[in-house]
Amino acid sequence: MEEKIKTTKSKLQPVPEPTVRRMPNYLTFLKELQKSGEQYISAPVIAKILNLDPTQVVKDLSYTGITGKPKVGYVVEDLLNLLEDFLGYNRQHEAFLVGAGFLGGALIQYQGFREAGLKIVAAFDVDKKKIGTEIAGVSIFDLKNFRNLASRIHISIGIITTPASEAQSVADIMVVCGIKAIWNFAPVSIWVPEHIIIQDTHIYSNLAVIINKLGQTNNDK
Amino acid sequence: MEEKIKTTKSKLQPVPEPTVRRMPNYLTFLKELQKSGEQYISAPVIAKILNLDPTQVVKDLSYTGITGKPKVGYVVEDLLNLLEDFLGYNRQHEAFLVGAGFLGGALIQYQGFREAGLKIVAAFDVDKKKIGTEIAGVSIFDLKNFRNLASRIHISIGIITTPASEAQSVADIMVVCGIKAIWNFAPVSIWVPEHIIIQDTHIYSNLAVIINKLGQTNNDK
């Protein structure tokens, strides 16, 4: 029998961040491709559709351990499985979210995260009107109970969707409670010890850039 | 009467993108501050709370046209108004969103955008089950009607929340229809002519970085 998957690189090898950032893009494209019934895909075709350099695609995908076959390229199913494995989508990472406002609520309801290996298991707020209610089946607890709940459930990811003024103190609680990675949507930079993983997603900043540039375009006229 | 607002810089001066990205952070902080009843705020205090360099804060805020007063700092209300003006939050920018899936739906429901000057006025999809329904009062139309509707309503911003494979063709339609800025949430890089403003927000890429780093941390043990 032919060997379908050749793995050449160790998974423990650190992967450059730009490569990691592109991996979900490859995966979503591969999923669509699978639906259409394609069995093989070549790096140049992937590169063309995702607007990337073909050499970059080959290099990126090599981190999953796959190598392409001459003339046909990659086996779609194999590459898909290796990408899901690389991205940890086959494991569930449980997260606590603090700040059950509009953005927090939208993230809780966003079922796409489940497919991507992230499960928000509980939300926290300080607003008495929100505490005790739930969003899409996720209970909202009093922030005071964060430590207590975090000590009982092993949680690796904390998501911050609080106002700016609360973000740092919430991050501090998360760090004390043993959370290893913080995904910060609050519009502020937060400080964490070096061993904590921090990732900022500042949606308003992106919007501000768009609107500012639009204003410049209009002024040019 | 004392002159409360001194404006020193022209609004037409191009502002560095990192500064623009920080502006919403200043604004949300100022809004919280106003709620607490504070009338004045100094650059060093802002810098401390937002984890920034005080010199940077002074420089950033000078682009709004404000200058601080010796000893007391900035007048909170004046700074707030100038920031909202700078960010265009007092004007409504209407947007069409294409791709009414989980993420698209979450963005439509996210009322925070309204406060930030962005109003999603219509959504589009190719899924017959979704067409004709609405999310939070926003109607979902057949993508085929995009051109027709865009020609009747002046829309400056297009939001893409489609699968990767559809993003480029949707962007092409948007450009043809005269949309000036595209906010791309699809997990793919899209190509647009140089005069079109493009801003990517790849939520899954951020999540991928977190999960990849978590995996490395666990492997280190």
Range of the domain at B62: 17-87
Contact call for residues A98 and A167 (beta carbons, < 8 A)? no
Minimal-distance CA residue of chain A relative to B117: A211
In a mutational test of the A interface, the residue from B204, B216, B217 whose CB has the highest number of chain A CBs within 10 Å is B204
Return the bridge partners of B71, or none. none
A57 and A110 inside one domain: no
Contact call for residues A19 and A25 (beta carbons, < 8 A)? no
B121 and B197 inside one domain: yes
pLDDT value at residue A81: 94
Instruction: Confirm or reject contact between A48 and chain B (CB < 8 A).
Output: no
Pairwise CB contact (< 8 Å): A15 & B107: no
A134 and A158 inside one domain: yes
Say how many domains are in chain B: 2
Instruction: Confirm or reject contact between A151 and chain B (CB < 8 A).
Output: no
DSSP track, A145-177: GHHHHHHHS---EEEE-S-HHHHHHHHHHHHHT
Residue type at B192? V
pLDDT by residue for chain B (221 residues), tens digit each? 444 444 444 445 678 888 998 898 898 889 888 888 889 999 999 998 888 899 999 999 999 999 888 888 999 999 999 999 888 888 889 999 999 987 888 788 876 788 788 999 999 999 999 999 999 899 999 999 999 999 888 899 999 999 878 899 999 999 999 999 999 998 788 889 989 999 988 888 888 888 888 877 765 44
For the segment B147-160, what is each residue's pLDDT rounded down to a tens digit?
999 988 889 999 99
Q: Locate tokens 């893409």: which residue?
A: B160
Say if B149 falls within a structural domain: yes
Pairwise CB contact (< 8 Å): B206 & A188: no
Give the domain CATH number at A119.
3.40.50.720
Say if A213 falls within a structural domain: no
Residue type at A52? L
User: In chain A, which residues have their Cβ closer than 8 Å to the Cβ of B217?
Assistant: 180, 195, 197
Residue where a domain terminates, one of A86, A121, A143: A86
Pairwise CB contact (< 8 Å): B205 & A110: no
> How many Cβ atoms are within 10 Å of A86's Cβ, its own excluded?
25
Listed by number, the residues of chain A in 69-88 with a beta carbon closer than 8 Å to a beta carbon of chain B are 86-88
Say if B199 falls within a structural domain: yes
pLDDT value at residue A219: 55
B52 and B109 inside one domain: no
Tokens of B161: 């929340």
The alpha-carbon gap from B220 to the nearest alpha carbon of chain A, in Å, equals 9
pLDDT value at residue B180: 93
Instruction: Confirm or reject contact between B112 and chain A (CB < 8 A).
Output: yes
Residue A113: which residues within 8 A CB-CB, separation 6 or more? A107, A119, A120, B207
E strand map for chain A: 40-41, 74-75, 93-98, 118-125, 134-135, 138-142, 157-160, 181-184, 197-200
Instruction: Confirm or reject contact between A203 and chain B (CB < 8 A).
Output: yes
This complex has an ipTM of 0.77
> How many Cβ atoms are within 10 Å of A67's Cβ, its own excluded?
14
For the segment A85-134, what is each residue's pLDDT rounded down to a tens digit?
888 888 889 999 999 987 888 788 876 788 788 999 999 999 999 999 99
Q: What is the dihedral of CA A126, A127, A132, A134, to 10 degrees?
A: -100
B110 and B74 inside one domain: no
B115 and B193 inside one domain: yes
For the segment B43-77, what is each residue's pLDDT rounded down to a tens digit?
999 998 888 899 999 999 999 999 888 888 999 99
